[in-house]
Amino acid sequence: MSHEKLHRFQIALLIFNTQTGVVLFILPRTVATYFGTNGWIALIFMFLPITLNILLITSVYRLGRGASIFAILKSGIPRFLLFPIYLVMGSGLAMVGCLVIKQYVMIYQLLIFPQTPDIVLKLVVDIIVFLLVTKGIYNISKANVFFVALLITMVPLSFIFMKDFDITRMSSFFFKEGKDFGQGFIKVYGSFMGYELSLFLFPYAEKGKKWLKYIHLGNSMTVLVYLLVTVICYGFFNYKELVHLSFPLLDMFGYLYFPFVERVQNFLYSLFLVSILITGGMYYWSSQAVFTELIPRLPWKWVLFFVMASTFIVAFIPKSLIEVEDWFNVLIYLQLGVAIVIPLLALLALLIQKGRKRHA
């Protein structure tokens, strides 16, 4: 029978869909708040550090000759040191997955179901995510192809706004009236998070190094979509208006009308569920991979169940979207840790391993 490997283009789509999520609805506001006029240019600047970060991750794959990140770390770093790292990493990744879903359902509750407890909606999404993740990474990537196809249908809709796009709203100033560039960079960097999960895909990808380029492709797709949305929002509204809009993209979609249907923002936001399933699902899958490394005797589906069940309980704590955003502000640092520190640790482990071999 066919022995499936993750097709490289599927990896690109997986990275793209893990990166995009609810953040797309908030991004124009974030960019406008922190970078002010023509803040969308910050996204282009962001491309460089992220590309460097991806190069760091891919160098681990190249030097480790395709071994899994856990095998590399284990080969050079003592287990007692790895244990707390895995524990923090696994819990952090699971919390990111949980909060991504929590944020989505809270916005949903705000927009459509004000009387339904958000936790009920979260339970529904969690069940779907659980069913998705238990199918394994190959099937997640296959489902993701269809999910991306559904999301891509939204891209042509953006061009409908071209007639309302006014270049004068963009202003001729750059980065004026913004606040706290440092914080802004971290927030925007956080909106690109998701590519770091490629660390866990090493054993599942095709053999060879070709697929590594496709992580960049996935990231480039994200940058393009973010740019498209942000630029259109800047030209449709203006940066001052954007600062005051909670979900600029949804407000923009609110102007859409067709002969049979109008005010489609609710439907389009519902469609974004498929992106949330992948973002949440991939973080839960990665968390499960880390915890399975810690408790190899427990079947991975049970590990996933316990991880999801415990984060579900934690999800009761944040009561508002602002609280969720505050939690995210903390978790961004953990994500950065996974994206930068873990590959550096892996490179160190490879160096130690090489040194040992030389002595032997």
Which residues of this protein are in contact with another protein, per CB under 8 A? 1-2, 4, 7, 9-10, 108, 112-113, 121, 124-125, 128, 131-132, 135, 139-147, 149-150, 257, 259-264, 266-267, 270-271, 273-274, 277
Exposed, middle or buried: residue 131 (CB in 10 Å: 0-12, 13-18, 19+)?
Answer: exposed
Of 18 and 335, nearer to another protein (C-beta) is 18
Q: Please give the Cα distance from 340 to 348 (Å, whole number).
A: 12
Q: Please give the Cα distance from 184 to 282 (Å, whole number).
A: 25
- In angstroms, what is the minimal distance from the CB of 149 to another protein? 8
Exposed, middle or buried: residue 261 (CB in 10 Å: 0-12, 13-18, 19+)?
Answer: exposed
- In angstroms, what is the minimal distance from the CB of 291 to another protein? 22
Of 139 and 320, nearer to another protein (C-beta) is 139
- In angstroms, what is the minimal distance from the CB of 11 to another protein? 11
φ, ψ of residue 180 to 5 degrees: the values are 50, 75
- In angstroms, what is the minimal distance from the CB of 62 to another protein? 24
- In angstroms, what is the minimal distance from the CB of 5 to another protein? 9
Chain centroid to CA 330: how far? Answer: 15
- Decide: helix, strand or coil at residue 31: helix
At 206, list the tokens: 């095709």
Of 153 and 183, nearer to another protein (C-beta) is 153
- In angstroms, what is the minimal distance from the CB of 172 to another protein? 38
Of 188 and 274, nearer to another protein (C-beta) is 274
- In angstroms, what is the minimal distance from the CB of 184 to another protein? 32
**Residues near 21 by beta carbon (within 8 Å), at least 6 away in sequence:** 100, 104, 194, 272, 275, 276, 279
Of 131 and 298, nearer to another protein (C-beta) is 131
- From residue 92, alpha-carbon distances to 180, 261, 284, 332, 337 in Å are 26, 41, 10, 10, 10
Q: Which amino acid is at 115?
A: Q
**Residues near 335 by beta carbon (within 8 Å), at least 6 away in sequence:** 92, 96, 190, 193, 196
Of 20 and 230, nearer to another protein (C-beta) is 20
- In angstroms, what is the minimal distance from the CB of 105 to another protein? 9
Q: Please give the Cα distance from 29 to 35 (Å, whole number).
A: 10
- Closest CA relative to residue 212, chosen from 1, 60, 2, 21: 60
- Decide: helix, strand or coil at residue 205: strand
**Residues near 273 by beta carbon (within 8 Å), at least 6 away in sequence:** 104, 125
- In angstroms, what is the minimal distance from the CB of 107 to another protein? 12
Of 87 and 120, nearer to another protein (C-beta) is 120
Of 138 and 312, nearer to another protein (C-beta) is 138
Of 230 and 288, nearer to another protein (C-beta) is 288
Angle, helix 23-35 to helix 212-236, in steps of 10 degrees: 70
